[in-house]
Amino acid sequence: MSMANQPMPRLTLVSHALCPYVQRAAIVLAEKGAQFDRRTIDLANKPGWFLAVSPLGKTPVLLVGEEPDRTPVFESAVICEYLEDTIAPRLHPLDALERARHRSWMEFGSAILNTIAAFYNAPDDQALEARRLELAAKFTQVEAMLSRGPYFSGESFSVVDAVFGPVFRYFDTFDSIRDFTVFTATPKVRVWREALGQRPSVRNAVTQDYPEKLVLFLKGRNSALSGLISA
């Protein structure tokens, strides 16, 4: 339901099958019980209509309203804020400082996504190991932020959880390639990962063939990790 008790405009999430930033928007929409359509594009072959609504040429874009009054909202964090502003229930904390802390850790989640990309693109074993250690170090920083769980701030699911669901999803596939022991020293993160892996909004943010699609994508990187998959 909209915050102002008005009917929600039509929402279309322009998506890419593997994009973790799309997933965070899809999770927030699902947590709010919002109706939305999904339009999936191929980022390797961006259609003209997509470039017209995506100034940075990136997914996600949330199209709000109907043509000709449709407004494209781009950047996942901005999309999440728009959804927070317009659709109940609120997922961010009410306290301003606590909300700022959540937004800070959302940024940290994006930094982890960059390290994940560096990990799966690492050209050789040495670089792969350096990135693995960097990931483990980043999750040690996250560990220090977690309290009683199971979610980032306890019992209630918040937008930070929507950011980390897609982060942890990568490790389901990485684990099937080799035990990279990224979470050995972070028991609270392990509990959080488990809880997010069971959350319906997180599970349903991707299609069933996501794992196969991710493996195909990783194989195609021509990286050290691609070599481990083929071996």
Contact 163, 109 (CB under 8 A): yes
Best CA proximity match to 171, nearest among 222, 129, 136: 136
Q: Could you tell me the smallest distance in angstroms from the CB atom of residue 46 to ligand GSH?
A: 7
Cβ nearer to ligand GSH, comparing 61 with 195? 61
And the tokens for 143?
């560990």
Site string for ligand GSH, 4-33 (x = CB under 6 A): ------------x--xxx------------
19 belongs to the catalytic site: yes
Cβ nearer to ligand GSH, comparing 57 with 154? 57
- Of 8, 43, 117, 145, which lies in the binding site for ligand GSH, with binding defined by CB under 6 A? 43
Q: What number of other Cβ atoms are within 10 A of residue 188's Cβ?
A: 18
Site string for ligand GSH, 142-181 (x = CB under 6 A): ----------------------------------------
Contacts (CB under 6 A) with ligand GSH, residues 55-94: 57-60, 75-77
Q: Could you tell me the smallest distance in angstroms from the CB atom of residue 94 to ligand GSH?
A: 24
Cβ nearer to ligand GSH, comparing 114 with 198? 114
And the tokens for 36?
């939305």
Q: Are strands 61-64 and 71-74 parallel, antiparallel or unpaired?
A: antiparallel
Q: Are strands 11-15 and 61-64 parallel, antiparallel or unpaired?
A: antiparallel
Cβ nearer to ligand GSH, comparing 28 with 195? 28
Q: Could you tell me the smallest distance in angstroms from the CB atom of residue 138 to ligand GSH?
A: 18
Q: What number of other Cβ atoms are within 10 A of residue 221's Cβ?
A: 16
Kindly state the DSSP code that residue 158 receives in the 8-state scheme. -
Q: Could you tell me the smallest distance in angstroms from the CB atom of residue 185 to ligand GSH?
A: 28
Rounded (10°) CA dihedral 117, 100, 137, 140? -130
Q: Site for ligand GSH (CB under 6 A): how many residues?
A: 12
Strand order in the sheet with 61-64: 37-40, 11-15, 61-64, 71-74
Catalytic residue among 13, 14, 19, 79: 19
Best CA proximity match to 184, nearest among 173, 170, 171: 171
Q: Which residues bind ligand GSH (CB under 6 A)?
A: 16, 19-21, 43, 57-60, 75-77
- Annotated catalytic residues are 19
